[in-house]
Amino acid sequence: MDTIENRTFDEIKVGDTASLVRSLTSDDFEVFGMWGGALISTLLGTKLPGPGTIYVEQTLRFGDR
């Protein structure tokens, strides 16, 4: 199991990366907007910058072009 480490804002540099791998199921399509939002929240809270991150706001907009 990987250890989760917190990084302060000052420790994050241009070029740093973080990633998550998840499987998308047919049930996920029913709640797609929140599924995408949950991935963003998970990435911020566990990878970059990590634990202790306060995720204040997120706006998701969907539409066709």
Q: Would you list the domain boundaries of the chain?
A: 9-46
The segments of the chain whose pLDDT lies below 70 read 1, 29, 31, 64-65
d(CA 48, CA 42): 9
Q: Is residue 28 within 8 Å of residue 39, measured between CB atoms? A: no
* pTM of the complete model: 0.48
pLDDT (0 to 100) of residue 15: 92
At 44-57, the pLDDT tens digits run 888 888 777 877 88
Pick from 19, 17, 64: nearest CA to 40? 19
